[in-house]
């Protein structure tokens, strides 16, 4: 492609709100432009990278036996009602009406569409298993878009859905997809950590995220030092050591307490350990119910775990007014004697301590020697604690905190969708049974940004060859009479005829310095320069984007040189 | 691909409302399934055809120098407001709001998006011309979907937009695209007629449709016997012969008239020629204005021409009540003495007659010797007449009526969008000027259906090789012990390794007859059968889908045979 013909040029300036390296270089080099916030154009060089990523994903999906199809963009909302997802997806779902008043969802994922398609066919166990996938534009009505392509409102996703006769068969495909994903990300130059994760609104019982470690990411996860365990913070489990279970229960006692709202106030005032204090956090769910989360003082509540345990869609902190309305007091909330309408949810860490202390539901009054079962009875108990760096995994290995970008995920769905949508096959025994399902997603655009995030220097992107917009950036410099231009033109044709992808900087009104800067910014693997100086030696200067040294290569040898270079 | 692995099977039954051959076979063979009305899934074999068509379009667009990009699916509605298209597109536009109350259009075309993108860059005459295109899902909120993929509410379109310094440069690209389209449709096996057409809501001054002649189409057009002129009925012009201009004007006279609402009633009653009668049709536009279209009695009004002349977005027939409310009478409307608030629009055919007759705006009263200028003064004059089979083109050649499917179109846009959206480049003289534009569309899904419509027999589709889902349909038949199955498996692998696209009917529980029926239905160019009988001769039976005879070809020669067959 001739650079002179690309209207979407490189630029030195950019909007002030661009922070991340990937966003900066994708913008400046002219890979993408924003339309509305979180909705991007892919420009001539950007769409090439996107399509190369998609092609690798497609090849590996095909190799793994999946079959491509495509669904409409608009999903009949009635299908989403069958699975109650119009509720659980909440505000992220965009809905549109047609002139006949039919309602449609702009899909964020396509479970309902795929199940609805499959149930149109009468299938038997002989037709199973199969895995169908598509590449299509997905929509998420995010409150805030950020980070260029990292969190957007519209993006291309590869989403796959597998249908099985039973769980055993599904598990094979889950492993198959796990391996396919490893292959895909390897080919894309991305090292991924596979972490257990929360299902979110997808449903099912378990899932794994493929995460590329990066400070630019939003996925906080914990990984054990021995590498045996990795989990997103929203599901990460850790050992909650027993503290003082050998103690005798002593009598509950109300005492005066001079302190503020922090846990440290309590520690200082009572001169007791933090872990012995009960931390109380009052939430209100989407139905207006009060949920009191209680936990050992040295731990924090993880809101997603709390949501899952309480089957809530949305949780917000209660206001001071609401707390007082329940006859309690901000900073002094307690499960002991709290209004019966409050749902008390205890972290299981409260089984590791005795004679705890905490608020008394009155201003400036605390309770000492609070004991579970005796003094309060939780409505729900479970793990609602946030894992932290340095905690121990249940295998005893130290957990390390890390951050990364989620580029893919695989989900067990089980019977979640097939049972709600009554999608059945005929089994060998002649009985109709629900499909056992899984689903598997890769965000193509976010993956593109992640590659740029991992592969750049201060001058621009350094694309891995597998996804580079062009393999070669060919540059002609020098004055018009030198013959270098003609030679560059000639070389351009030769390279293209050899089937190489070449970006040819044929612009005559641009300085050599600007051309070099553009080449670094755009980041093709090989930079070839034809100038008077190189021509004098019948050569071309070849420089790899990821190396400093440049070499002179005889013109006739260039194709061989690049083909055999690694 | 193994047929046993394709969940979306062929079927013998179909919904009763399926009428067209393309729809019937695409459904029965398992190329497509409907989600909501007018919104289709492309199934495993369907998406292969769709992608082959798209690839041919892409190759020819690239060859013609166009550059691929992609825009977001959701278009900020504010952009459509800049060009007033939220009005003119009317009900066909779907609009969706996000949680921040920003409004977006689900684009039917992308002129605004492309112009908005281009104006983000500071370009000069040196950057011109360029032509950018995309493949993306388009939306039309059609009142009625029909004919499978022929009129849908969601479809994939290739849309291209060219930007030029001036009209001369644009005209070269218009010709360039014209030729590219001819190449594309040739490669797809489609003979097209290029007809002048109406711009509809796209804007601009002229455009051409690429139409495939077919009774299944909705595009009615007229083509001159000498082939020199072809135009859609909405723009087709014809010779309006002068009839009695040699006559003297005689006095206007009101007479009693016993007749009904038809033109023939007037002819019979007055014993005067049809062409001398004035035909009056009263419309109401979207602003509630009355528009009286008048025309020579032997012609009909074309509503699109009338819309364009009156710059109306929508026209409906006036009710009898409305006619009486204007002091006139249904069946007896006349431009003579009609209420001043009525906009009288005269077809230029009224300049070809004198002493016309027609209604008197009173029940059972007619006027004789009506003459334009003397007795009535039209507010607007122009061509609002519908061309008909047998009329003469302006070149004197007889027009023939035909019907077809519009598969592509090319539009002059001129300054329509760039001026409304203030999109400018810097010209050689240092001045900022509006871009001169064109746009160019091909409906991929409709093209697919058109190919099926043109290439089928009573058993199924007969795909041209360029777009066939697979080149070869390989079938194994006979009993399990015969060795035919193993040989078929072996041949499948050999063919795939040779890079051939093969659909392998490896199903063991299906009769030979059913397999042959499926092969005819799906329509791959070559059917290969391996059976005990063919194996006895170390051969394979090869049959082309478009021929009746089958041949035995030695197994070792099959690849050569197919490669060299035409």
Dump the DSSP string for A228-291: S-EEETTT--------STTSPP---EEEE----SSHHHHHHHHT--GGGBEEEEEEEETTS-EE
Residue B115 CA to residue B123 CA, distance in Å, equals 12
- Give Cα separations from A309 to A234, A464, B161, B216 (angstroms): 12, 43, 53, 58
Q: Which of B4, B7, B94 sits opposite A98 (nearest CB)?
A: B94
Residue B441 CA to residue B408 CA, distance in Å, equals 5
- A439-469: pLDDT as tens digits: 999 999 999 999 999 999 999 999 999 999 9
- A122-175: pLDDT as tens digits: 999 999 999 999 999 999 998 888 889 999 999 999 999 999 999 999 999 999
Kindly state whether residues B232 and B177 are assigned to the same domain: yes
Categorise residue B204: left if φ over 0, alpha if ψ from -120 to 50, beta otherwise: left
Whether A464 is covered by a domain: the verdict is no
- Please count the other Cβ atoms lying within 10 Å of the Cβ belonging to residue B318: 22
Residue of B49, B70, B79 to mutate, interface with A, max A Cβ within 10 Å: B70
- B455-502: pLDDT as tens digits: 999 999 999 999 999 999 999 998 777 788 899 999 999 999 999 999
Name the residue in chain B with its Cα closest to that of A78: B36
pLDDT at A90: 61
Residue A158 CA to residue A136 CA, distance in Å, equals 7
Kindly state whether residues B223 and B111 are assigned to the same domain: yes
Residue B441 CA to residue B138 CA, distance in Å, equals 11
Take residue B484 and report the two structure tokens written for it: 């035919």
Structural domain count of chain B: 3
Name the residue in chain B with its Cα closest to that of A104: B36
Is any Cβ of chain A less than 8 angstroms from the Cβ of B137?
yes
- Residue A492: closest CA among A481, A503, A507: A503
Q: State whether B47 and A41 contact (CB < 8 Å).
A: no
Kindly state whether residues B447 and B525 are assigned to the same domain: no
Whether A426 is covered by a domain: the verdict is yes
pLDDT at A483: 84
Domain stop point among A354, A382, A410 = A382
With contact defined as beta carbons under 8 Å apart, do A7 and B127 qualify?
yes
Whether B459 is covered by a domain: the verdict is no
**A65 three-state secondary structure:** coil
Q: Which long-range contacts (CB under 8 A, 24 or more apart) does A48-52 make?
A: A48/A469, A48/A470, A49/A448, A49/A463, A49/A467, A49/A468, A49/A469, A50/A156, A50/A444, A50/A445, A50/A448, A50/B70, A52/A466, A52/A467, A52/A468, A52/A469
Gap from A79 CA to chain B (nearest CA, Å): 10
pLDDT at B187: 98
B116 chain-A contacts, CB cut-off 8 A? 35
B255, β-bridge pairs: B366
**A133 three-state secondary structure:** strand
- Residue A26: closest CA among A47, A7, A6, A3: A47
Residue B230 CA to residue B237 CA, distance in Å, equals 10
Is any Cβ of chain B less than 8 angstroms from the Cβ of A13?
no
**Average pLDDT of A514-542?**
96
Helices (H) and strands (E) in chain B, counts: 15, 29
Tell me the DSSP string of B399-454: EEEEEEEEEEEEEEEETHHHHHTT-EEE-TTS-EEEPEEEEEEEEHHHHHHHHHHH
Lowest mean pLDDT among A101-105, B54-58, B562-566: B562-566
- A314-353: pLDDT as tens digits: 899 999 999 999 999 999 999 999 999 999 999 999 999 9
* Burial classification of residue A62, based on how many CB atoms lie within 10 Å of its CB (0-12 exposed, 13-18 middle, 19 or more buried): middle
Helices (H) and strands (E) in chain A, counts: 15, 31
Residues 155-194 of A with CB under 8 A from B: 163
Residue B80 CA to residue A161 CA, distance in Å, equals 37
**Average pLDDT of B109-128?**
97
Gap from A55 CA to chain B (nearest CA, Å): 13
- B322-375: pLDDT as tens digits: 999 999 999 999 999 999 999 999 999 999 999 999 999 999 999 999 999 999
Q: Which of A35, A72, A163 sits opposite B72 (nearest CB)?
A: A35
Gap from A103 CA to chain B (nearest CA, Å): 10
Kindly state whether residues B232 and B267 are assigned to the same domain: no
Is any Cβ of chain B less than 8 angstroms from the Cβ of A498?
no
Residue B442 CA to residue A90 CA, distance in Å, equals 37
Residue A226 CA to residue A240 CA, distance in Å, equals 19
Take residue B183 and report the two structure tokens written for it: 């190449």
**Average pLDDT of B147-165?**
95
Q: State whether B130 and A7 contact (CB < 8 Å).
A: yes
Gap from B238 CA to chain A (nearest CA, Å): 37
Task: Provide the CB-side half-sphere exposure for B40 (13 A, CA).
Answer: 31
Kindly state whether residues B375 and B410 are assigned to the same domain: no
Q: State whether A69 and B41 contact (CB < 8 Å).
A: yes
Which residue bears the tokens 């096959």?
Answer: A425
**B27 three-state secondary structure:** helix
- B514-534: pLDDT as tens digits: 999 999 999 999 999 999 999
State percent of chain A over pLDDT 90: 89
With contact defined as beta carbons under 8 Å apart, do B39 and A74 qualify?
yes
Residue B527 CA to residue B519 CA, distance in Å, equals 7
Which residue bears the tokens 């009104």?
Answer: A509
Q: State whether A35 and B75 contact (CB < 8 Å).
A: yes
CATH number of the domain that B215 lies in? 3.30.930.10
Whether B38 is covered by a domain: the verdict is yes
- Please count the other Cβ atoms lying within 10 Å of the Cβ belonging to residue B403: 15
pLDDT at A372: 97
Which residue bears the tokens 């062409």?
Answer: B275
**B49 three-state secondary structure:** helix
* Burial classification of residue B227, based on how many CB atoms lie within 10 Å of its CB (0-12 exposed, 13-18 middle, 19 or more buried): exposed
With contact defined as beta carbons under 8 Å apart, do A165 and A436 qualify?
yes
Kindly state whether residues A136 and A267 are assigned to the same domain: no
A502, β-bridge pairs: A472
Nearest 10 degrees: Cα torsion A312, A317, A320, A322 = -10
Kindly state whether residues A476 and A444 are assigned to the same domain: no
CATH number of the domain that A263 lies in? 3.90.960.10
pLDDT at B362: 95
Task: Work out whether strand A424-426 and strand A219-224 pair parallel, antiparallel, or are unpaired.
Answer: unpaired
Residue A288 CA to residue A312 CA, distance in Å, equals 11
A35 chain-B contacts, CB cut-off 8 A? 71-72, 75-76, 113, 116-117
| pTM for the full predicted model | 0.93
Whether A370 is covered by a domain: the verdict is yes
Residue A291 CA to residue A345 CA, distance in Å, equals 7
**Average pLDDT of B221-249?**
95
Is any Cβ of chain A less than 8 angstroms from the Cβ of B44?
yes
Q: What is the mean pLDDT of chain A?
A: 95
- Could you list the residue range(s) of the whole structural domain that residue B516 is in? 472-564
- A57-73: pLDDT as tens digits: 999 999 999 999 999 99
* DSSP letter, residue A435: P
Looking at the predicted structure, is the pLDDT value of residue B91 above 60?
Answer: no
Domain stop point among A353, A382, A411 = A382
- Please count the other Cβ atoms lying within 10 Å of the Cβ belonging to residue A288: 6
- B410-445: pLDDT as tens digits: 999 999 999 999 999 999 999 999 999 999 999 999
Q: State whether B69 and A130 contact (CB < 8 Å).
A: no
Which residue bears the tokens 């709100």?
Answer: A17
- B137-152: pLDDT as tens digits: 999 998 888 889 999 9
pLDDT at B90: 61
**A78 three-state secondary structure:** helix
B211, β-bridge pairs: B193, B406
pLDDT at B566: 61
Is any Cβ of chain A less than 8 angstroms from the Cβ of B510?
no
CATH number of the domain that A504 lies in? 3.40.50.800
Kindly state whether residues B29 and B157 are assigned to the same domain: yes
Q: State whether B132 and A70 contact (CB < 8 Å).
A: no
Whether B198 is covered by a domain: the verdict is yes
Kindly state whether residues B37 and B143 are assigned to the same domain: yes
**Average pLDDT of B92-104?**
92
Residue of A74, A97, A161 to mutate, interface with B, max B Cβ within 10 Å: A74
Looking at the predicted structure, is the pLDDT value of residue A201 above 80?
Answer: no
**B373 three-state secondary structure:** coil
* Burial classification of residue B116, based on how many CB atoms lie within 10 Å of its CB (0-12 exposed, 13-18 middle, 19 or more buried): buried
**Average pLDDT of B102-119?**
96
With contact defined as beta carbons under 8 Å apart, do A123 and A434 qualify?
no
B124 chain-A contacts, CB cut-off 8 A? none
Q: State whether B67 and A73 contact (CB < 8 Å).
A: no
- Give Cα separations from A246 to A294, A353, A354, A368 (angstroms): 22, 9, 8, 17
Kindly state whether residues A513 and A549 are assigned to the same domain: yes
Name the residue in chain B with its Cα closest to that of A130: B5
Residue of B49, B69, B77, B503 to mutate, interface with A, max A Cβ within 10 Å: B69
Kindly state whether residues B377 and B432 are assigned to the same domain: no
Q: State whether A126 and B154 contact (CB < 8 Å).
A: no
Residues 45-104 of B with CB under 8 A from A: 46-47, 50, 65, 67-76, 91, 94-99, 102, 104
Name the residue in chain A with its Cα closest to that of B41: A71
- Give Cα separations from A438 to A179, A351, A419, B412 (angstroms): 15, 36, 14, 49
Q: State whether A163 and B116 contact (CB < 8 Å).
A: no
Which strand ranges, in their side-by-side order, compose the sheet holding A103-106? A74-76, A103-106, A94-97
Q: Which of A7, A42, A44 sits opposite B123 (nearest CB)?
A: A7
pLDDT at A566: 61
* Burial classification of residue B175, based on how many CB atoms lie within 10 Å of its CB (0-12 exposed, 13-18 middle, 19 or more buried): exposed
pLDDT at A91: 58
* DSSP letter, residue B367: E
Q: State whether A120 and B70 contact (CB < 8 Å).
A: no
Kindly state whether residues B171 and B37 are assigned to the same domain: yes
Name the residue in chain A with its Cα closest to that of B44: A69
**Average pLDDT of A26-54?**
97
Whether A308 is covered by a domain: the verdict is yes
Residue A114 CA to residue A160 CA, distance in Å, equals 9
Whether B392 is covered by a domain: the verdict is no
- A281-302: pLDDT as tens digits: 999 999 999 999 999 999 999 9
Beta strands per DSSP E along B7-129: 32-34, 40-42, 67-68, 74-76, 94-97, 103-106
Is any Cβ of chain A less than 8 angstroms from the Cβ of B15?
no
């Amino acid at each position: 492609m001739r650079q002179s013909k690309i209207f979407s040029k490189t630029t030195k300036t950019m909007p002030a709100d661009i922070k991340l390296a990937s966003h900066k270089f994708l913008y400046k080099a002219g890979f993408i432009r924003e339309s509305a916030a979180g909705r991007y154009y892919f420009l001539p060089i950007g769409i090439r990278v996107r399509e190369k990523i998609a092609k690798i994903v497609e090849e590996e999906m095909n190799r793994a036996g999946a079959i491509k199809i495509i669904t409409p963009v608009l999903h009949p909302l009635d299908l989403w009602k069958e699975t109650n997802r119009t509720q659980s997806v909440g505000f992220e779902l965009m809905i549109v009406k047609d002139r006949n008043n039919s309602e449609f969802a702009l899909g964020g994922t396509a479970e309902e569409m795929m199940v609805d398609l499959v149930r149109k066919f009468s299938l038997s166990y002989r037709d199973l298993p199969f895995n169908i996938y598509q590449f299509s534009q997905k929509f998420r009505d995010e409150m805030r878009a950020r980070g260029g392509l990292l969190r957007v409102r519209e993006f291309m996703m590869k989403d796959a859905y597998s249908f099985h006769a039973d769980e055993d068969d599904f598990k094979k495909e889950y492993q198959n997809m796990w391996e396919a994903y490893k292959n895909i990300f390897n080919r894309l130059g991305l090292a991924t950590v596979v972490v257990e994760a929360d299902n979110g609104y997808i449903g099912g019982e378990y899932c794994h995220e493929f995460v590329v470690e990066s400070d630019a990411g939003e996925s906080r996860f914990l990984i054990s030092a021995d590498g045996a365990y990795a989990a997103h913070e929203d599901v990460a489990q850790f050992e909650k050591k027993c503290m003082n279970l050998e103690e005798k229960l002593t009598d509950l006692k109300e005492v005066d307490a001079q302190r503020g709202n922090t846990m440290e106030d309590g520690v200082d005032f009572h001169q007791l350990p933090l872990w012995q204090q009960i931390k109380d956090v009052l939430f209100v769910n989407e139905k207006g119910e009060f949920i009191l989360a209680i936990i050992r003082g040295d731990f924090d509540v993880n809101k997603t775990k709390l949501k899952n345990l309480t089957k809530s869609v949305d949780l917000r902190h209660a206001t001071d007014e609401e707390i007082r309305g329940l006859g309690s007091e901000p900073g002094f909330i307690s499960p002991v004697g709290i209004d019966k309408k409050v749902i008390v949810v205890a972290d299981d860490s409260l089984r590791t301590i005795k004679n705890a202390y905490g608020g008394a539901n009155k201003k400036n009054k605390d309770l000492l020697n609070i004991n579970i079962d005796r003094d309060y009875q939780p409505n729900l108990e479970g793990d609602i604690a946030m894992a932290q760096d340095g905690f121990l995994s249940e295998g005893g290995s130290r957990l390390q905190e890390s951050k990364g970008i989620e580029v893919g995920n695989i989900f067990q769905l089980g019977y979640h969708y097939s049972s709600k949508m009554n999608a059945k096959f005929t089994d060998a025994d002649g009985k109709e049974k629900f499909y056992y399902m899984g689903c598997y997603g890769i965000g193509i655009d976010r993956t593109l940004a992640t590659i740029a995030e991992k592969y750049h220097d201060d001058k621009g992107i350094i694309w891995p060859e597998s996804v580079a917009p062009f393999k070669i950036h060919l540059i002609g410099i020098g004055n018009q009479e030198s013959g270098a231009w003609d030679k560059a033109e000639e070389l351009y044709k030769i390279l293209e005829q050899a089937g190489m992808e070449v970006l040819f900087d044929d612009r005559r009104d641009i300085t050599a310095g600007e051309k070099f800067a553009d080449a670094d910014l755009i980041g093709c693997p090989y930079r070839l320069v034809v100038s008077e100086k190189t021509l004098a030696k019948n050569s071309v200067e070849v420089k790899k984007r990821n190396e400093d040294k440049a070499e002179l290569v005889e013109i006739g040898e260039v194709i061989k040189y690049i083909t055999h270079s690694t």
